[in-house]
């Protein structure tokens, strides 16, 4: 009997997260690519091929998919609130499953990181407080400053919570294995958690307990809709993405993750450091989150083969999420396993466009041929 399985690094071995069984621990991180169908924001045949090519990932986390038109912050990102969008995603999940892969939908409300041209009736984007983000978004004419948001009155929050639950139900209808709530990178849930954006004086602002209230209402509604074994969440405790900050992230996220752990979620996906930037941007004890959360811990940000293998072998993480490496390497798992060279991603084709820089990166076998 071969000993190859025994000597295989743990990164390439199976893992069960909640109710989802993965063939390996290499996770494809959510990656916004702005290639949904113009007009309907429904996934199309090009998106189907993109995800099918990457189905050897232990788990694919879809690009952020908005729960409503109000939740949209960028042009041509897919939604999961209309029939056409659900049908489009169904073709994606069927293609991934046909290749033996697993895929969850990242459900998303951007909050203040939007532009009036993307909002229903060209209205102002919504946020916990009327504090503008110092960042840009991507609209039909290219990159533009985000619009000034309006503060959400408490009576509008249950409707948004219901939109999250409906999106989770739609994801299951579309054949997704589960969902990831997008609670990271300065979008709506992150805006409620952090005091740089949440300046409310009602039951949803001020204390840590109040600031986690809306995020936990979303978590509870989604788990009630599809079951906790199919729900994960992504957080970024210290990332300054989209102009966000907090005065004491350890206190906020320590409390939040303890609450998530008590709810028995399938996985916690953590952007360690600045999203797509330095891991050591601010001091933070990620091991404390790992200990507080009983489900699978997926670590993200700046990992390469060596550091990913080490993190999983040591037990610091159960799985590792890769972003840009998956853009350029549809067969990333095989390349990492064989320690083969990686294709370099083309930044100029990340957002919008056609098949170029999307589905035309060669796999190892094609390169050899």
CA-CA distance, 304 to 322, in Å (whole number)? 8
Taking Cα atoms as reference points, which of 135, 142, 60, 132 lies closest to residue 93?
60
CA-CA distance, 146 to 205, in Å (whole number)? 23
The residues annotated with a catalytic role in the active site are: 187
- Rounded to the nearest 5 degrees, what angle is found at the Cα of 59, between the Cα atoms of 320 and 363? 90
CA dihedral 238, 240, 244, 250 (to 10 degrees): 10
Strand 15-17, strand 59-66: pairing? unpaired
CA-CA distance, 99 to 51, in Å (whole number)? 10
CA-CA distance, 112 to 110, in Å (whole number)? 6
CA-CA distance, 339 to 337, in Å (whole number)? 6
CA-CA distance, 83 to 3, in Å (whole number)? 49
Q: Do the Cβ atoms of 64 and 105 come closer than 8 Å?
A: no
First to last CA, the chain: 32
Q: Do the Cβ atoms of 249 and 255 come closer than 8 Å?
A: no
Distances in Å between the alpha carbon of 287 and those of 250, 284, 292, 339? 11, 9, 9, 28
């Amino acid at each position: 009997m071969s000993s190859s399985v025994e000597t295989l690094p743990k990164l390439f071995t199976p893992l069960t997260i909640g109710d989802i069984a993965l063939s390996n621990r290499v996770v494809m991180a959510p990656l916004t690519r702005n290639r949904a169908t113009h007009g309907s924001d429904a996934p199309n045949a090009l998106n189907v091929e993109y995800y099918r090519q990457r189905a050897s990932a232990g788990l694919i986390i879809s690009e952020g998919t908005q729960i409503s038109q109000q939740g949209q912050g960028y042009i041509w990102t897919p939604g999961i609130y209309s029939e056409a969008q659900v049908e489009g995603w169904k073709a994606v999940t069927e293609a991934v499953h046909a290749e033996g892969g697993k895929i969850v939908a990242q459900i998303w409300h951007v909050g203040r990181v939007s532009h009036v041209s993307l909002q229903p009736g060209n209205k102002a984007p919504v946020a916990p407080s009327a504090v503008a983000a110092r960042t840009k978004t991507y609209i039909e004419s290219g990159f533009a400053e985000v619009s000034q948001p309006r503060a959400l009155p408490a009576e509008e929050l249950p409707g948004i919570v219901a939109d999250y639950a409906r999106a989770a139900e739609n994801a299951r209808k579309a054949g997704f294995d589960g969902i990831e709530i997008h609670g990271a990178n300065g979008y709506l849930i992150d805006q409620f958690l952090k005091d740089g954006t949440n300046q409310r004086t009602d039951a949803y602002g001020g204390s840590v307990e109040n600031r986690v209230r809306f995020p936990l209402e979303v978590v509870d509604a989604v788990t009630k809709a599809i079951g906790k074994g199919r729900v994960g969440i992504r957080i970024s405790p210290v990332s300054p993405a989209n102009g966000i900050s907090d005065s004491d992230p350890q206190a906020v996220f320590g409390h939040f993750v303890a609450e998530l752990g008590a709810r028995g979620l399938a996985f916690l996906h953590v952007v360690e450091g600045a999203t797509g930037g330095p891991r050591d941007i601010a001091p933070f004890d990620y091991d404390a989150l790992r200990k507080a959360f009983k489900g699978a811990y997926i670590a993200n940000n700046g990992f390469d083969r060596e550091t990913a293998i080490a993190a999983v072998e040591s037990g610091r993480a159960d799985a590792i999420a890769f972003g840009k490496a998956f853009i350029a390497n549809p067969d990333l798992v095989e390349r990492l396993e064989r320690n083969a060279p990686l294709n370099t991603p083309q930044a100029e084709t990340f957002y919008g466009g056609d098949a170029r820089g999307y589905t035309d990166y060669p796999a190892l076998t094609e390169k050899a041929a």
